[in-house]
Structure 1
């Protein structure tokens, strides 16, 4: 798909999902992400069934909030750990048997993941960490 075709398809999808999303800019962002992922997968053009499938997926997917590492709705968000830790540290942090606070500032916490292989530390904003 050319960039022109991607934008045309994204605008078509955004017009269909704007009522479900509530804001055209958000709908366009979601549509562009979907179309771009389809283009990267090697699609040359979008059939009617693929178009309807994309619209359905964008309007019927439930969002349950961010996923947390530790205990259900408390702990460190997974997206923050993926952003701040390299893959080896992320794997090690997921094996942690305890998470503690090493240092604290007005806006952030230095978290220490205690594992059998040693400690892994990571700064995290207080606004996204829950239960510490």
Structure 2
């Protein structure tokens, strides 16, 4: 599949799922990942069956994570999914043992969060739009 066809298919899928996702940019990101995965798997073009299958997978995926939504330390909260995506398993375990959490640096849209632990500091960037209390 050419890059032009990849983008066409991704936009076509995104238009179908934008209502469920709520934002076109997010829908496009999800569909680009799906279409790219199909292209890497060796598909030369997307048939109607493959299109319907991709559409079903994108709109009917179940949420896998059932734990707490935020990691709270005092009045400050970081989404667990964000920590899961940005920290490796050891850092995630260490961050959950933190005794202090603060923003070391900030930009207009993000903050560098520092988790102080007995084992040293763990840092990660987090968008301000999803963190609570900073």
Unaligned runs of 5+ in 1: none
Give the match for residue 58 of structure 1.
58
Residues 30, 98 of structure 1: CA spacing in aligned structure 2 closer, same or farther, 3 A cutoff?
Answer: closer
Residues matched between the structures, number: 120
Unaligned runs of 5+ in 2: 72-77
Using the size of structure 2 for normalisation, the TM-score is: 0.60
Give SS of 1:99's match.
coil
Structure 1 Cα separation of the partners of residues 58 and 37 of structure 2: 13
Aligned pairs (5 A) from 1:37-116: 37-62=37-62, 72-75=68-71, 76=78, 77-80=80-83, 82-83=85-86, 85=87, 90-96=88-94, 98-101=97-100, 109-114=113-118
Deviations 1:60-94 (A, max 9, x none): 22458xx69xx7233143434643x5xxxx33334
Q: CA deviation at 1:44?
A: 1.8
Q: CA RMSD in A?
A: 3.8
- For the Cα contact (< 8 Å) 2:10–2:32, is it kept in 1? yes
Deviations 1:12-43 (A, max 9, x none): 22233234334444433332221112112322
Structure 2 Cα separation of the partners of residues 59 and 131 of structure 1: 32
Structure 2 Cα separation of the partners of residues 100 and 28 of structure 1: 39
Give the match for residue 6 of structure 2.
6
Structure 1 Cα separation of the partners of residues 12 and 122 of structure 2: 46
